[in-house]
Structure 1
Amino acid sequence: MTISPVVAPDSASLSPLVELAKRTRASALQLGTTPTEMRNQALEAIAQSLEAAAPEILAANQADCQTAQEEGLASALYARLKLDETKLRGAIAGVRDVAKLPDPIGVVQIHRELDTELVLKRVTCPLGVLGVIFEARPDAVVQISSLAIKSGNGVILKGGKEAIRSCEALVKAIRQGLQQAGLDPDVVQLLTTREETLELLKLDAYVDLIIPRGSNSFVRFVQENTRIPVLGHADGICHLYIDKAADIPQAIALTIDSKTQYPAACNAIETLLVHQAIAKDFLLQAVGPLQEKSVELRGDTRTLAILPIQPATEADWSTEYSDLILSIKIVDSLEDAIAHINTYGSRHTEAIVTEDEQAAATFMAQVDAAGVYHNCSTRFADGFRYGFGAEVGISTQKMPPRGPVGLEGLVTYKYQLVGNGHIAATYSGPNAKPFIHQDL
């Protein structure tokens, strides 16, 4: 999604979107107080509605894909855009998985008696209204809507123009499911124009969290053009480090999976780091399987002395290809691998392949990333695979939530204090009464 400067609409043209946001906020307030069972029933109704609308949804997506091909959409975006029957079934299964998860609302995190009949609770509650902006990922509509409903939040969705027909068909089915379950369909809204995206970023009075899912430039644009808190990541530059104590067949299998299982995903690796002690043996065995998967290889000077491949440049170390391209760098030590990752990585997901438990422990402690893995593919960095049911996105920020964000990232908490005429003056001054501070 490319954002170019536009003249901001006048206040009169803002009113339809403001009214939509107000309706979403009002319906979200109601949703947040509905019983767990009612929200779960709504999710089942949505799953059934999506199943019934599957032919319409798939036809809409085929039309989007045809237009995308005619317009020369990049292969990585096209892979994300395509919603076939298998992908749709998986998304629907995800809705039902979310329904099975524990209710994140109303969880008492602190229950404490400050003094006799003065009782404090910290209780989880919905954030309010989410604004989610994404590129060519129609399946994100289903994941995000189901998580929002389960967590009692309203959601305003804005998909890329590449997926407009798909998003409209999906949201139509979701809203029908909500209506059939007796809930206000205004809790899920869809925007369709670029101008609405820009205005959504200004609605800090009605929207509590913005979640952008897209290219580096797009996420940065969102972060720089809103006062609403933003959850997300701008890059997915992930590494796999092959340690000198790696099992070579296992390392090859993990490299293939981390790069080729879904190269357009943000958790696919872009750079392979190999310890110099194992480099020749590993690379000579790995090059064939990688090239059989049509992976274009680029290497540093030492890699070029082993493999006849294209040279890597400095720019390659900070590039998210989202394609079948892999840069290779030979390093002298575990410390060098960690330093490279912490310099060029995007704090998304990083992995080490080694049989040396101490090396793995050092890597996992010192690498700065939301996900650090040992002897497994980076492709496991996913809310569904983590058992979250689905995810609204992946966050690489230091403050929580971090990594794949599911239900726990969509709730906040409030402090509830109940007394019996208690006043603060009783607990201050020379004759101050002490607090009990007893957990109940």
Structure 2
Amino acid sequence: MTDTDTITKARTAQRAALDLAQTTDEARRNALHAIADALDDNRTRILEANEKDVEEAEAMRQRGEYSQALVDRLKLDDEKIDTIAEMVRSVAAQDDPLGETLEARRLDDGLELYRVSVPIGVIATVFESRPDALVQIAALSLKSGNAVILKGGSEALHSNRVLYDVVREATADLVDGWAHLVEAHEAVDEVLDMDEEIDLLMPRGSTEFVRHIQDNTKIPVLGHTEGVCHVYVDEAADVEMATDIAYDAKVQYPAVCNAAETLLVHEDVAAEFLPAIADRYEDAGVEIRGDERTRSTVDAIEATETDWETEYGDLIISIRVVDSLTEAMDHVNTFGSKHTESIVTEDADHADVFMRGVDAASVFHNASTRFADGFRYGLGAEVGISTGKIHARGPVGLDGLTTYKYYLEGDGQRVATYSGADAAPFSHEPFDGDWNHGRLADE
């Protein structure tokens, strides 16, 4: 891909974003339903393309170039396509995030100020391995009125091409050029220079990759990095519940960023909990890496300092026995990636201390870390999980893809009236009103 190709797509997206921002929620909703229907109608075509990607990725895994986790994330099947289509319909069913009056303030009689939600503009995203991410990001961008530039990994080349074509064909009657696919590796560096055309960058990949993006662009970056997630089994935990949660958090889908990578176990429950979870993990083929106290209770490989900061994305878990809630929190805040953390306890005070004291986008009490997901949160879907703290945090849905404008409705007022010794005062009075294309709708 040449620099001209990428620039042309970005500028086309820029123009399309202005048009898309003016479409009705009904038009965007209908387009999303068309995408969902097209996924159903084209599943054979999608699965055939995905099979090519999986075969090539499996060959590279056997040569040691790809991990099993990457191959697992790459795979699509009928059930997965059903899930993707359901996700698109769920996004369509969400309330319109645009045109919402976030605040109304009367500056003076006949001078009303409104803060109203609007699209960000042009979003560019770079993601790896999971082809369903293309549809998720496209669907959320469309619903929120944003044009989007999509750059998937080469390992999902065939799948991404077909899925993009399905999305584009299904929305041909909406706004031309609202979505673009770029494929060449050098296109990433080209995109990083387009701070005049692109309003937000959303990389999904390793910490090193996200940092590379952040260090080499002037475009605001909404980073989605690794997930080093923990489950802490407190001294006041229900051990049976803790076993079920720790099993689900690791085994239900180990290749994703919200799977648990480390278990922290209070010493008072270690003798009862560790054998129970070790048996469950053994049946599921999970490799346990433990500290000295863990290894004194169950069979495990010796854990190293590197294990505490590793996202395995596989059936591997590191386990550490701790003396206190404070020690558990210190471990999480030292080695966690600010993604998702969970405490299992029947002590409400302990839960409160953990949830307030742990620095993460999502913190759970008596629940699996696997619930950290835009669809499960009721957001329709997510473009990623932001581990930063500015603009959007946690699963990023429609609200994270909007910003706002200020609209001022007047009746000939002049600043001079409010200046000088005899100036009229501002009232700055909040009121319940909605900005509706210049027509006030007081309720």
TM score, norm. by length of structure 1? 0.95
1:231 is aligned to 2:249: no
Residue deviations 1:81-131 (CA, integer Å, cap 9, x gap): 111111111001111111110000000111221012211011100000110
**What's the secondary structure of 2:268's corresponding residue?**
coil
Which residue of structure 1 lines up, in the alignment, with residue 375 of structure 2? 384
**What's the secondary structure of 1:384's corresponding residue?**
coil
2:211 and 2:225 map into 1 onto residues whose CA distance is 6
Aligned with residue 97 of structure 2, among 88, 101, 104: 104
1:185 and 1:253 map into 2 onto residues whose CA distance is 49
Which residue of structure 1 lines up, in the alignment, with residue 434 of structure 2? none
Contact 2:206 2:225 in 1 (8 A): yes
1:201 and 1:213 map into 2 onto residues whose CA distance is 15
**What's the secondary structure of 1:390's corresponding residue?**
coil
Residue deviations 1:218-243 (CA, integer Å, cap 9, x gap): 22221211111111232210000000
Which residue of structure 2 lines up, in the alignment, with residue 140 of structure 1? 133
Which residue of structure 1 lines up, in the alignment, with residue 35 of structure 2? 46
Contact 1:243 1:352 in 2 (8 A): yes
Alignment of 1:290-439 (within 5 A): 290-439=281-430
Contact 2:205 2:226 in 1 (8 A): no
Counterpart residue type for residue 81 of structure 1: L
Counterpart residue type for residue 165 of structure 1: H
Contact 1:223 1:230 in 2 (8 A): yes
1:127 is aligned to 2:116: no
Counterpart residue type for residue 340 of structure 2: T
Which residue of structure 2 lines up, in the alignment, with residue 75 of structure 1? 68
**What's the secondary structure of 1:278's corresponding residue?**
helix
Contact 2:202 2:224 in 1 (8 A): no
1:343 and 1:81 map into 2 onto residues whose CA distance is 31
Which residue of structure 2 lines up, in the alignment, with residue 64 of structure 1? 53
Which residue of structure 2 lines up, in the alignment, with residue 28 of structure 1? 17
1:256 and 1:97 map into 2 onto residues whose CA distance is 28
2:313 and 2:402 map into 1 onto residues whose CA distance is 31
1:26 and 1:148 map into 2 onto residues whose CA distance is 15
Which residue of structure 2 lines up, in the alignment, with residue 14 of structure 1? 3
Residue deviations 1:368-401 (CA, integer Å, cap 9, x gap): 1110001110000000000111100000112231
Counterpart residue type for residue 224 of structure 1: D
Which residue of structure 1 lines up, in the alignment, with residue 44 of structure 2? 55
1:206 and 1:171 map into 2 onto residues whose CA distance is 21
2:141 and 2:24 map into 1 onto residues whose CA distance is 15
2:175 and 2:322 map into 1 onto residues whose CA distance is 57
Aligned with residue 166 of structure 1, among 159, 171, 181: 159
Shift of 1:430: 1.6
Contact 2:192 2:213 in 1 (8 A): yes
Which residue of structure 2 lines up, in the alignment, with residue 6 of structure 1? none
**What's the secondary structure of 1:329's corresponding residue?**
strand
Question: Which runs of no fewer than 5 residues in structure 1 stay unpaired?
Answer: 1-8
2:95 and 2:276 map into 1 onto residues whose CA distance is 46
2:399 and 2:372 map into 1 onto residues whose CA distance is 16
Shift of 1:48: 1.4
**What's the secondary structure of 1:189's corresponding residue?**
strand
Task: Flag as ranges the 4+ runs of structure 1 deviating above 4 A.
Answer: none
Question: Which runs of no fewer than 5 residues in structure 2 stay unpaired?
Answer: 432-443
Which residue of structure 1 lines up, in the alignment, with residue 436 of structure 2? none
Q: RMSD of the alignment, in Å?
A: 1.1
**What's the secondary structure of 1:232's corresponding residue?**
coil
Contact 2:382 2:395 in 1 (8 A): yes
Q: After the TM superposition, which of the residue ranges 268-277 and 48-57 deviates more from structure 2?
A: 48-57
1:153 and 1:428 map into 2 onto residues whose CA distance is 40
Which residue of structure 1 lines up, in the alignment, with residue 208 of structure 2? 217
Aligned with residue 188 of structure 2, among 188, 194, 197: 197
1:247 is aligned to 2:238: yes
1:219 and 1:236 map into 2 onto residues whose CA distance is 13
Shift of 1:418: 2.0
2:352 and 2:176 map into 1 onto residues whose CA distance is 49
2:372 and 2:394 map into 1 onto residues whose CA distance is 8
Residue deviations 1:295-342 (CA, integer Å, cap 9, x gap): 110111111221221111111111111111111111100111011111
Which residue of structure 2 lines up, in the alignment, with residue 265 of structure 1? 256
2:6 and 2:135 map into 1 onto residues whose CA distance is 22
Residue deviations 1:148-170 (CA, integer Å, cap 9, x gap): 11000000000000001000000
Q: After the TM superposition, which of the residue ranges 40-49 and 405-414 deviates more from structure 2?
A: 40-49
Counterpart residue type for residue 14 of structure 1: D
Contact 1:176 1:185 in 2 (8 A): no
2:69 and 2:193 map into 1 onto residues whose CA distance is 30
TM score, norm. by length of structure 2? 0.95
**What's the secondary structure of 1:416's corresponding residue?**
strand
1:154 and 1:233 map into 2 onto residues whose CA distance is 20
Shift of 1:274: 0.3
1:88 is aligned to 2:77: no
**What's the secondary structure of 2:177's corresponding residue?**
helix
